[in-house]
Structure 1
Amino acid sequence: MAKVIIVFASMSGNTEELSDAIAEGVKAAGLEPVVKNVMDTEASQLEQYDAIIIGAYTWGDGELPDEMLDYYEAMDGLDLNGKQAAVFGSGDSAYDIFCGAVDTLEQKLKDRGAAIAADSIKVELNPTNEETEQCRALGRRLAELAAASV
């Protein structure tokens, strides 16, 4: 059976809410996702999954949040070739770089060989109903791609 992991960093709960909606989509597609706060997992575990979905809020002017930094750096040694991947996150457009952490994480996944299987989801603070549904659709898509790859 295909394996899907969702790893997230959330300070205010917005990005965690997005990860919950993505997990609902994965479940709707018939798979049981593993959902982990970035503080409770190791980057090396990503190699064990067929689909990888990573989310983070953006800190300051487009930066990764502090709790994501070690995880991000630990991704450097990974081989993610053949993995389906997507990124999501929340941010505040009052800053010059909106959701810059999403772009940074997506590039890292590409650099490690993962195939970006869906457009990134960037949310202004709290998700709207439409954005929540986009997250569910993202989860379904990644689950379907993961299932097709095994």
Structure 2
Amino acid sequence: MSNILISYTSMTGHNEKIAKHLESYLKQKNQDVTLEQLVDGDAYSLPDYDAVIVVTYTYHDGDLPDEAQDFFEDLKDVDLEGTEFAVAGSSSKTHIHFGRAVDYFTMQLNSSNGDQAADSVKINQEPDEDDLKRVDQLADYVLKSLN
């Protein structure tokens, strides 16, 4: 059994739905899962987990959510060597920089020496059944990377 953190931020509830879906899916796979909001999270605790999944929305036209700023900045001082990670998030395709916060987190987690277990998943607005299947695949890649 692996120890997996899902840390999320959600304004409309879309990303909370994604995070809770991931939590349920991983628990069905007999994983030890911690679910927390980014605003309550401690980036310095990430190396304590086998894997980390960040779920974030993109604010306005490509910005990180305000409640994710401190966590994101702290990541710059964290060494994630040996920690698997993946990133997913909901955004709106009407924005010129669709899902850019997902890209920012992916780049920073890579820069912090994390091991990217899956391609990032960007979802337009509220996740539908097909989107949740892609989220399941992301989780499966994370699990495969831990074996």
Assess same fold via TM > 0.5: yes
Match of residue 124 from structure 2: 124
CA deviation after TM superposition for structure 1 residue 68, in Å: 0.3
CA deviation after TM superposition for structure 1 residue 9, in Å: 0.6
Q: Deviations over 1:107-136 (max 9, x none)?
A: 000000011111111011100101112212
Query: Distance between the aligned counterparts of 1:97 and 1:39, measured in 2?
Result: 23
Q: Deviations over 1:16-74 (max 9, x none)?
A: 11111111221232202101011222111111001010011000111100000011001
Match of residue 69 from structure 2: 69
1:23, 1:136 within 8 Å by CA — same for their partners in 2? no
Query: Distance between the aligned counterparts of 1:80 and 1:33, measured in 2?
Result: 18
1:23, 1:139 within 8 Å by CA — same for their partners in 2? no
Match of residue 106 from structure 1: 106
Select the structure with the greater relative contact order (CA < 8 A; seq sep ≥ 6).
1
Identity %: 29
Match of residue 143 from structure 1: 143
SS at match of 1:33: strand
Supply the AA of the counterpart residue of 2:50.
D
Pairing of 1:7-46 with structure 2 (within 5 A): 7-46=7-46
Match of residue 56 from structure 1: 56
Q: Deviations over 1:67-110 (max 9, x none)?
A: 00011001111010111110000101111100000000000000
TM-score by length of 2: 0.94
SS at match of 1:141: helix
SS at match of 2:2: coil
CA deviation after TM superposition for structure 1 residue 145, in Å: 2.6
Supply the AA of the counterpart residue of 2:65.
P
**Aligned pairs, how many?**
147
The runs of 5 or more residues in structure 1 that have no matched partner are none
Q: CA RMSD in A?
A: 1.2
Query: Distance between the aligned counterparts of 1:25 and 1:38, measured in 2?
Result: 20
The runs of 5 or more residues in structure 2 that have no matched partner are none
2:2, 2:32 within 8 Å by CA — same for their partners in 1? no
Say which is worse superposed, 81-90 or 16-25, in terms of deviation.
16-25
